[in-house]
Structure formats: structure tokens, C-alpha cells
Structure 1
Amino acid sequence: MPRIFSWLMSCAILVLLTSCSDFDKEFTVRSAKSTIDVSLDGTALVSESFDISVKKMENYGGVYVDIPQRFTDASGGSHWRDFNLVAARRDGRDEHYFKENNVPGYSIYIGEMHCKNCRADLPVGAGNIEIAYRLGRLVRQEGDHQVLFMPAYMGGIHGQDAKKAVTFTIPPGGVLRRSHLDPPAYEITRNAPNEILVSIAAGKRDRVLPDIEIDYPAGTFLSGTSDKQVRLWLSDHFLAFISILGPLITCLFVALRLPSSWRLPTPLIAVDSKITESVSPALAAYLFRNWKMSAAKAAFMASVCHLAVKRGLRISSLGEDAEASDLSAKQARKKGKVARAKWYGLPAATRLVFGRIEEERPVEDRRRILYAWYGFEDELHATVVAEYRKVRGKDRWMLPAIFSILALGVAVAYFSGLLIFSAAILGILLISLAAVMALLHPERLSGPTDVRQMLGLCLGIPALTILSLYYIGTTEVISEQQPYLMAILLDMAGIVVVPAMLRIPTPKQRQIRNNMLNLNRYLLGEIDGPTMSIECYEHYLPFAVALDVQHYWTERFNFWRESEKMDAYAPDWLIGSQTDGIIKVSSKSAEE
């Protein structure tokens, strides 16, 4: 835990250092010297020394040494080599350091990390920064000979261009490829068969200098193993590969999901009773109204009617002024397995509505249904959405795709040195999204309940926004980082696109909605369907309430009943002798 806390504190301080610092006004690099000792295994030990001048008494207590690890050969190709930091010193003494990733390589902060006006300021005047590290294998095989490619540049401080001398100690027997030095970007002198001196004048941009290449006979350097060569090849292409992989996963996921979404469901020419049995009346109300807010009350009343026809309670009417009594469903399901199976066979939305009505205080064994409706919209909507997603089925590839894209985006941001920059962009996007959601759905926001929440909302979010914008505006994204920044932005878009695919209905979901449209036509008498009976009437009555056609459905039932010369319809789930004109009950039943 202390290590994690220390790492988090270091990252926070580095954010302040990189976003608020002005090193050019505090330090000057007067000269730099480097020695590169190449071993027979093709690796190299590098030691660099920078003479600096501290100009201000108040400073940040340290400097950044940028170590490029991406080298450019004579043909313009780029390759990476391993980096292992050996030591970091200031004025001959070991110094605290912190290593960051960057696209060209690494940035090593040498010195005490702190803010301004702290006691760890570097003393004004001349100073010296030393750094030692080891480079990976710098040899490649070309036909029957080996080529040693050495960087003519190495570390620099804050991008300041200073006079620099690089001394290479190499195995004897090599032939310098002078053709690659035209036009000369630096002066090169061979002092001995195994020593080369490279002089870089002040003002030269040492990051873009091409490699120094030397031909050697085969066998001069120890041959690298095949797994070593594979690892070096992967290191050269690792960052580009993971940058492409995230958007590729997004495209692959969308490509696999869109065809199934575009596939037309089987056309329905009549009501499919099996589909109707698998859908709750509440879901039918939302599907028919295309998930509009007005569907909530219709879904509630349809669930009440569903409870009534399933003998879970009795209601006085199907209107908003209805009252409920004889809530026997909860007691009935405790009597045995059959009752429990019947109860849990009801849709979740229907059971939820029953529990809501049961919570209301009865007056003479009657509960006003409308009272149970108040403040119930969100809970009912969430239950219906869960049912709709269950119809869709589980998408077992969505979460792995999201986590893979997220992990790849974080890896690209980390290895390209854009982790904090990407986090700032993500923070701005999330804050903007939250602001848009607050404007579109203010009812979903609850006000602050205490002083800390109010301060966090009123001060914390604006401060975070300002800090993120300032960091983005003051941090330079070099040309080599721009492709990786684009890949990170595409990964962010992929994390949004993949869950958004869940909002596109599957063929099964669209078939259910089409069945609801056909059911509406059947209830209105426009198409044929199941044969009318009392069981058929009661079965489809909750759906008629959900689709707001209960009046027409009841008229069709009454017309059928009269044509069959049946007695007055007196259901045991209805209270009273007569409803509001939708269902009529005989006087005999009312007396009972």
C-alpha cells in the first residue's frame, strides 16, 4: 500500500510538473558528452553527462532527460531497442529519479519532485547531470555480413539544443558506411580502429540524426537466438500493433452484429400466440409506444389488469380511479408448490406492481390503485428493460470486447507517453456527457445532500475541467505521437459504440414488436385471430389495456356474447355491478 500511495503521489506531482513548468527559464544546457561502449553481444552501455546552469533560485528541483529508443536507419525504417536504466546522478551523487514512457523512448526525471517554493530547489549556478543505461542489441544480419547500427544521438534535456560529443567504443574490423552521411548532419572522426568520435554542433536537432552504420564480417558479434530476434521484431512493431488492434476489435464486433440487426424478421400475417405468452403486458405497452414516457402508466394499468384476470386481486374498474381488494396472491403462493409456481410464472413487472399495491394502506380492505402509481415510473421502466434484454439474450462477447479495447487503449497511452493527456481528454468527454445528460434529463439528478457533495459538484468538477483543459492546451503532442493519439481516440469511441449496439433490436425483438402491432389489429377486429371465448377475452384484456384498445376489445366480446345468447358476464375478479362502460356485470352478480 505505501508503494501504491507513493506511485500515485509521484504521478500527481508529475502532472503539475509537466503542466505548469517552464524549464527553459530555469535551466540552460551548456554542453553534453556521451560514451557508448558496444559489446560483442551487440548490446551497448551508454553513459551521458550534461553540464547545466540553474538560472533561478526557485525551481522544480530537477530536470527531464529524454532518451530516445526509436532509431531511424539509412533507409528510413524505424526500430526500437531495449532500455535498462543503470544509474542517475547529480553532481556526482546518486539522485532520485522517476521514469516515464514517451513515443521516442523515455523521459527520466532526475531530482526531487516537488512544487515551487519548496526547499528542494537546485542551487543557482553550474551543475552536472549524469545518467547511465544499457541499450539492447544493435546488430542486424545482412547476407553474409553483420551491420552495427549506432545512434548518433542520445539523451537531451527538455529538447534544448546544445553542443554535444558522442564517443563510440566498438569492436575492431568494421568498415564505416560513409555514403549514409551525405549530407553530413554531424562531424565524425575515427581516432582509433575501435573508437569513433561524433561532434554535434549547438542548434542541431539531435533527435532526427540518422544512425551510424558499420559493416562487420559474419561472426564478429555473437549470433542472437531465434527467440531473441522474434522479440526484437515484436518490440519494433509492438506499439503499432496494439494501436491498430483496438479499432480492429471494434470494427469486427460491429461487423458481426450489424448483419443480424439488419436481417428482417419472419413476416407475420396473424397473431402469434406463443410470442404473446412470452411477453408481459407491461413490455407490450412500451413496445407499442416505442419506449416513450407515456407508456409507463399504460404498462402499470395493464399489469393491474393482468393481476386481476390471474385472480391475484379484485379491481373495481379498469380506469385510473379503480380500487383493489382481496390481495390474495401473496398468501396463495405460500400454500404449496402449485401456487408458488403459478405466482412466479407471472412476469416480473406484474409481480412488482402487486408488491407496490400491497404497500398501500387499505381503507375498508380497498386500496386506491392510483396512489401506488406515484413515483413508480423508474422502477417499472427498469424492470421492463430487464425483461426486454432477457428476450434479446446474453451477449457474451460484449464485455470481453469492451475490456479488451479499454486495456489496449490504456497500453497505447502508457507506452506512447500520452496517459495523462488521454486521461485529460477522457475527463473532458465524461464531464461534457454528464452536462448533456443533466440538460436532457434533469429529473434524474438529485440535489446535493450535504456541504461536501455541494462543494464537490460546484468546485471540484469546474476545477477538474479547467485543469484538464490547461494540460491539453499546454502539452505538446509531437508528430510521432499523433497517430497513437488518434488510435486512443478511436478506442474511446469503440468503448461507446460496442455497448450502443445493444440498443439496436435483434430480429427476435423486432418480431415481438411486429406481433404487438398485429395484436393491436386483431383486438380492433381488423384481422382474424384466436377464436373468441371468455378465456380468450380475459387472456388478451391486459394487452388491450396496454395498447389502449380495451373499449373496442370489450365491444367485440359483448357482441360475441350476445350472438351466442349468453348470460351477462360476471367475472369474479371485478368489484361492483358496472364499470365505467368498459365491462358490464349482471345485477345478480352485483348482489352477490
Structure 2
Amino acid sequence: MLRLLSWPILCAMLLALTSCSNFDREFTVQSANSTVEVYTDGTAFVSEFFDIEVKRAENYGGVYVDIPQRFTDASGGVHWRDFQLAAARRGGLDEYFSMENNVPGYSIYIGMEHCKSCSADLPKVPTKIQIAYWLGRLVRQEGDREILFLPAYMGRVHGQGAKKTLTLKLPPGGTLRPSQQDRQSTYHIMRSAPNEIQVSIPAGKRDRVLPDIEVEYPAGTFVTITSGTRVEWWLSDHFLPFIRILGPIVAGLFVLTRLGQAWRLPASLIAFDSKKTESTSPALAAYLFSNWKPEAAKPAFMASACHLAMKRLLRISSLGEDAEASDLSARQVRKKGKVARARWYGLPAVTRSVFGRIEGERPVNDRRTVLNALYGFERDLHQTVTEEYRKVRGGADRTRLVAAATILAIGTAAAYFSGLLIFSVSICGILLVLFIVVMMFRHPERFPMAVSTSEQFKQALILFLGFPAIVIAALSYIGTTEVISEQRPYLMAILLDIVGIVTVVALRIPTPKQRQIHNDILVLNRYFLGEIEGPAMSVECYEHHLPFAVALNVEQHWTERFDRWRESEKMETYAPDWRSSS
């Protein structure tokens, strides 16, 4: 955006055109006059007049006035000025205006319209722009003296060096401090009245640097600053830099916290509690134990079939790949009444879906080959188990949502106060379109084609017209909008916020509840292998844990432990009713 650049310390009042305009072709600043009246409370009332020559009949119908609030003092400290607009006029009459945030301060647009296609062009005659406003916090303490500092803010005009005049109306008792720089080569200072100083800045180069004007007063001249005011000033000074780094900090803390939870080793246990398996399906145990590898589908399916057998909803010939299911009784169980239906629907969803697949197989002599039902079901099986795993965390991952929403709010605030809100929205629009297009190619099943002709027409409009229009508009705005040097750190922070949101949303690290279930599965495996203590062996204990032993591929170890127990208990035979003869 082409602007009349102001001196970036106190209140440089300089003009600019809208974005995409060319100031040198359409306007000329002939002179600029300013009056600053300073009060004993450390505030000032500023009135600025700019004489503008309109060079072209067709123009953007308005100008920008930049009001810097962010300044650097002699010690290098960055401070923020209070600002309150009093009036914006053109030709002596109140004019329409709008205010935009920026890192240095405010940009105030004075004009009826903000577009070149509108009919509200400024007439091709000499034009006078006036703006009046209040400024605060103009005094700093140095030892036993108070310093009123007024930067020489009328030093530069965009593309040219116009003549400027500055009148300072000051409280009595001040002494003008000598500058280390040669004022005579930059501007002329004279006392036009006992408490009034006039500064004349001749026309010159736009890149000249002018020294500040500092007036020294004895202590007690200005109103004493309270501790509360000092705290308020400190917060305003550090607000923008704080929100600039806050978003990446929140994202980093979230990632580190989740990584710390993922890397944390489970507490060493000497015993296993069988109640921990009651809320987990054998199929989920199989996937967790194999770290969600595709080959977990077979043990997950067989473990679910074994689970059905343990619930007496079918009989199974063996637990190997040649296992056959018979006497499927779930259909009858579901018809027997509320108790039976509660028994059926109390099973995990994945176990019920496995029964449906087995039931759908064509029987041979009332026998169905179990693994035949798995073919073509791997994807649905994985999705069903994934849904169960998501429910374990208790609904949505609130910590993830809160972190993403917090980073979004911080990024939005940084974009708003730095004047980069539309710029940031354009970047997000491009990224969102790219993300949707990539997802359409990678997961076309999530974007089903419309059936009706009207819906297909809408989809075609969005895909071939809507998305390109969004990208073109965003790229056009980004390419024609200038990011000034003070905005660049905030633009980088906003980009980091976007990366942080994507990272938080896409991070696939288990929640504490999910991590606990995974640790319970590892402990259960140690129990099967006899490395830790657990429930005392019995027929009920063996049958209760057998589906999980199948899921963890330790069914043989678990059965051997059961056989040794039978020998010790002098149990000669074990003929379960859940198992059918080969």
C-alpha cells in the first residue's frame, strides 16, 4: 500500500492513497502544518492541515493519514502512545473516515469511497485535509527532571519532501535541550512566544533523518504518574510483542505435553486387574498391540469371533485359520426379550459387526469358515475399531480443541492489531482450498458425487469456478498489498500460528485415557506370559481372557497355563460348550 510515510515515533501525520494507487501520479503534498498543544497532565491535542494538489481527475477519492503510536526512546525502549480521534475534515467540512489497525499505530482513510470504480473522486482543485486527535504519554522521568519529548515527525513525505511547519504550545518553565545533531541542516527552531516554539522544516529529500525535540522541566511540573498507570503503560507496550509469540508458545506446549505423555513409560506393576479389560474390545486390543498395522485385522477378527463364542452366541471349532463357526444363536437371543437384547447390545460394536459378517457367509452343513468372512471387511473393521478408540477419550478431545481455538484467537488478534487481518484471511483461504483439493484426491470417499443434476451443477461451480476465484482473489490481494518492515515479524508469527493450528489438529498422539488403555494391554500381555501376577486361574478366568489372548497372539501360552492349572487341580477333562467338534 503506497503511503505518505510519517516519522515512526510520535504522531507523524502523513498522507497516502489506497492500495493499488499511485500517489505521485494523482496527488502532490504542497505543504503540511501542525499544531501540538501540550497539557500538564502529559497529554497533547494535535491538529494537522495538509494542502493537497489533485493532479488527475480520476483518483481513489480519498487519502490515508498514518498516526504512529509505537515509538522508540533514546534508550532503545519501545513504547505505545494513547490515541483518540477528534475530527477528520476535507475542505473545512466533516468527512467520512474509517480506521485500520497497524503495527506503528492507526491508518485513517479520509474519503467517501475506497474504490477507483466509484464516482467519488476528489475534485481537481487544491484540497485541504484536516485531522485532529488526542495523544497521551509524552513525558518520561530522568533522575529529578521530567522530559517532554516531541519527535520531529514532519520530516518525510512519501516520494517527495514538502515544506512543513510545526507549532508547539508548551507548559511554562521548560528549557529546550540541545541536540547532538546539527539542527540547522535539518530544521529551524525559534520561540514565537514565551511558551510557544515554532519549527520550520524546509523542502528536502524524503530520506533525511531529523533529531527529536526534547524540553526539560523540573520535577513536579506534570501530573505524578501512579503505579496503576505505569502498569497499564507496561502492558500496552508489551501487548503486541506478547501476542506475537504467544500462539507458537501455546502450540509448542501442547505438542510437548502430548509427546511427554506418549514417551512416558507405564508404571511397573506386579499384578494385573482384569476389570481393565471390561471397557475394551478384543479387536481394539489387537490393533493397539500391533500399533495399528494392517496385519492386525486377522487377530482382531479372530479375537472377536472367540469373544462371541465365549458369550455363547456361536460355537467355534478352533482358534486357528481353519476355524469354523456353527450354531449361530444371536438372532434368537435378540428375540427373547429385554434381558437377552441387553446382553447382545452390551457387546462392543466391532464384535457385533463381526457376527454379522460370519452370519452372512454361506454355510456348509451349518458351518461357516470364519476367516472367509474377513475378506473385504478389513477396511470397515479398522474404521469400527477406530471409532471405538475415539470414544474411549470421552467424546471430542477438548484439550486439542481448546488449544486450537486459543491459537486461532491469538492469531486473529495479532492479525487485527497489526493490520494484517485481510492479508492473513487471504493466506488461509489459499491454504484451505489446497487442503480440500488434496483431500479430494487422497480420500475421494469423503466427497461423494451428487446424484441429482442440480447438485452436480453446484459441485461443478464450486470446484471449477469457486475455488479458482478464491485463489485468484487472495493472490491478487497478497500481491498488491505492501507489508511494511514493522509488520513482517507479525506476519511470520501469524504463519507460525497457522502451522501451530495444523499441528495441533493433525497431531495423532494418544490422549491420557487412550495411553492408559494401551498400557493396560501391555500389562495384560505380561500377565498372559506369567511375568506378573493377576486373577487366579479358573475356567471362568481362562474363558474371560481367551479372546484377548487370541488378539495378542499368545493364545498358546495362555492355554498351556490353563492346562497346567487343570493338572494341578486334577481336572481330567475340559469340554466347553462354546467349542464344536472338528
Query: Which residue of 2 is the match for residue 385 of structure 1?
Result: 389
Equivalent position to 1:512, from 512, 517, 520? 520
Q: In terms of mean alpha carbon deviation, does 504-513 or 240-249 score higher?
A: 504-513
Q: For the Cα contact (< 8 Å) 2:155–2:209, is it kept in 1?
A: no
Query: Which residue of 2 is the match for residue 566 of structure 1?
Result: 573
Query: Which residue of 2 is the match for residue 542 of structure 1?
Result: 547
Q: What aligned pairs does 1:230-249 form with structure 2 within 5 A after superposition?
A: 230-249=231-250
Q: Which residue type is aligned with residue 494 of structure 1?
A: G
1:60-92 Cα distance to aligned partner (Å, 9 max, x none)? 221211111122333333321111111111222
Q: What aligned pairs does 1:27-66 form with structure 2 within 5 A after superposition?
A: 27-66=27-66
**1:242 alignment partner, SS class:** helix
1:15-48 Cα distance to aligned partner (Å, 9 max, x none)? xx96644444433333222111112222111111
Per the alignment, do residues 45 and 346 of structure 1 end up closer, same or farther by CA in structure 2, a change over 3 Å counting?
same
Query: Which residue of 2 is the match for residue 424 of structure 1?
Result: 426
Query: Which residue of 2 is the match for residue 178 of structure 1?
Result: 178
1:296-323 Cα distance to aligned partner (Å, 9 max, x none)? 5754554354234223566799879968
Per the alignment, do residues 335 and 155 of structure 1 end up closer, same or farther by CA in structure 2, a change over 3 Å counting?
farther
Per the alignment, do residues 140 and 569 of structure 1 end up closer, same or farther by CA in structure 2, a change over 3 Å counting?
closer
Q: In terms of mean alpha carbon deviation, does 170-179 or 443-452 score higher?
A: 443-452
Give the superposition deviation at 1:528. 11
Give the superposition deviation at 1:358. 12
Give the superposition deviation at 1:425. 2.6
Q: Is 1:474 the equivalent of 2:476?
A: no
Mapped partners of 1:492, 1:322: distance in 2: 53
1:69-127 Cα distance to aligned partner (Å, 9 max, x none)? 12233333332111111111122221111100111111111112343322222223432
Mapped partners of 1:474, 1:244: distance in 2: 27
Q: For the Cα contact (< 8 Å) 1:68–1:207, is it kept in 2?
A: no
Q: In terms of mean alpha carbon deviation, does 255-264 or 344-353 score higher?
A: 344-353
Q: Which residue type is aligned with residue 104 of structure 2?
A: P
Q: For the Cα contact (< 8 Å) 1:48–1:155, is it kept in 2?
A: no
Give the superposition deviation at 1:504. 5.0
1:175-196 Cα distance to aligned partner (Å, 9 max, x none)? 1112254466443333222222
Q: For the Cα contact (< 8 Å) 1:312–1:328, is it kept in 2?
A: no
Query: Which residue of 1 is the match for residue 215 of structure 2?
Result: 214
Q: For the Cα contact (< 8 Å) 1:35–1:166, is it kept in 2?
A: yes
Query: Which residue of 2 is the match for residue 10 of structure 1?
Result: none
Query: Which residue of 2 is the match for residue 585 of structure 1?
Result: 581
Per the alignment, do residues 225 and 272 of structure 1 end up closer, same or farther by CA in structure 2, a change over 3 Å counting?
closer
Mapped partners of 2:207, 2:46: distance in 1: 16
Q: In terms of mean alpha carbon deviation, does 315-324 or 418-427 score higher?
A: 315-324
**1:478 alignment partner, SS class:** coil
Give the superposition deviation at 1:419. 1.7
Mapped partners of 2:194, 2:270: distance in 1: 91
**1:414 alignment partner, SS class:** helix
Q: For the Cα contact (< 8 Å) 2:60–2:116, is it kept in 1?
A: yes
Per the alignment, do residues 411 and 489 of structure 1 end up closer, same or farther by CA in structure 2, a change over 3 Å counting?
same
Q: In terms of mean alpha carbon deviation, does 315-324 or 489-498 score higher?
A: 315-324
1:230-266 Cα distance to aligned partner (Å, 9 max, x none)? 2223222221223233333344444444444322224
Q: What aligned pairs does 1:270-289 form with structure 2 within 5 A after superposition?
A: 273-289=274-290
Q: For the Cα contact (< 8 Å) 1:19–1:475, is it kept in 2?
A: yes
Mapped partners of 2:533, 2:386: distance in 1: 34
**1:248 alignment partner, SS class:** helix
Mapped partners of 1:297, 1:428: distance in 2: 42
Per the alignment, do residues 557 and 32 of structure 1 end up closer, same or farther by CA in structure 2, a change over 3 Å counting?
same
Give the superposition deviation at 1:408. 2.1
Q: Is 1:263 the equivalent of 2:264?
A: yes
1:182-222 Cα distance to aligned partner (Å, 9 max, x none)? 46644333322222222334455589655321011223223
Mapped partners of 1:207, 1:98: distance in 2: 30
Mapped partners of 2:285, 2:345: distance in 1: 19
**2:414 alignment partner, SS class:** helix
Q: In terms of mean alpha carbon deviation, does 460-469 or 560-569 score higher?
A: 560-569
Give the superposition deviation at 1:549. 7.5
Mapped partners of 1:478, 1:537: distance in 2: 72
Give the superposition deviation at 1:374. 8.9
Mapped partners of 1:158, 1:307: distance in 2: 81
Q: In terms of mean alpha carbon deviation, does 39-48 or 290-299 score higher?
A: 290-299
Structure 1: stretches of 5+ with no match in the other structure? 1-16, 572-582, 587-592
**2:431 alignment partner, SS class:** helix
Per the alignment, do residues 237 and 159 of structure 1 end up closer, same or farther by CA in structure 2, a change over 3 Å counting?
farther
Query: Which residue of 1 is the match for residue 7 of structure 2?
Result: none
Q: What aligned pairs does 1:356-375 form with structure 2 within 5 A after superposition?
A: 373=377
Per the alignment, do residues 550 and 514 of structure 1 end up closer, same or farther by CA in structure 2, a change over 3 Å counting?
closer
Query: Which residue of 2 is the match for residue 146 of structure 1?
Result: 146
Q: What aligned pairs does 1:331-480 form with structure 2 within 5 A after superposition?
A: 331=335, 334-335=338-339, 340=342, 342=343, 346-350=347-351, 373=377, 376-377=380-381, 379-389=383-393, 397-447=399-449, 449-480=455-486
Give the superposition deviation at 1:497. 3.9
Q: For the Cα contact (< 8 Å) 1:186–1:199, is it kept in 2?
A: yes
Equivalent position to 1:492, from 492, 498, 508? 498
**1:179 alignment partner, SS class:** coil
Q: Which residue type is aligned with residue 65 of structure 1?
A: V
Structure 2: stretches of 5+ with no match in the other structure? 1-16
Per the alignment, do residues 285 and 444 of structure 1 end up closer, same or farther by CA in structure 2, a change over 3 Å counting?
farther
Q: For the Cα contact (< 8 Å) 1:74–1:210, is it kept in 2?
A: no
Query: Which residue of 1 is the match for residue 304 of structure 2?
Result: 303
Q: Which residue type is aligned with residue 478 of structure 1?
A: I
Q: For the Cα contact (< 8 Å) 1:349–1:383, is it kept in 2?
A: no
**2:179 alignment partner, SS class:** helix
Q: Which residue type is aligned with residue 406 of structure 1?
A: L
Mapped partners of 1:143, 1:282: distance in 2: 75
Query: Which residue of 2 is the match for residue 98 of structure 1?
Result: 98
Per the alignment, do residues 450 and 428 of structure 1 end up closer, same or farther by CA in structure 2, a change over 3 Å counting?
same
Mapped partners of 1:551, 1:289: distance in 2: 18
Per the alignment, do residues 19 and 297 of structure 1 end up closer, same or farther by CA in structure 2, a change over 3 Å counting?
farther
Per the alignment, do residues 121 and 272 of structure 1 end up closer, same or farther by CA in structure 2, a change over 3 Å counting?
same
Q: For the Cα contact (< 8 Å) 1:59–1:116, is it kept in 2?
A: yes
Per the alignment, do residues 570 and 400 of structure 1 end up closer, same or farther by CA in structure 2, a change over 3 Å counting?
closer
Q: Which residue type is aligned with residue 283 of structure 1?
A: L
Mapped partners of 1:297, 1:203: distance in 2: 83
Query: Which residue of 2 is the match for residue 67 of structure 1?
Result: 67
Q: For the Cα contact (< 8 Å) 1:30–1:163, is it kept in 2?
A: yes
Q: Which residue type is aligned with residue 103 of structure 2?
A: V
Computed over aligned residues only, the root mean square deviation of the Cα atoms, in angstroms, reads: 4.4
Mapped partners of 1:156, 1:276: distance in 2: 75
Per the alignment, do residues 159 and 385 of structure 1 end up closer, same or farther by CA in structure 2, a change over 3 Å counting?
farther
Aligned residues: 550
**1:265 alignment partner, SS class:** coil
Query: Which residue of 1 is the match for residue 10 of structure 2?
Result: none
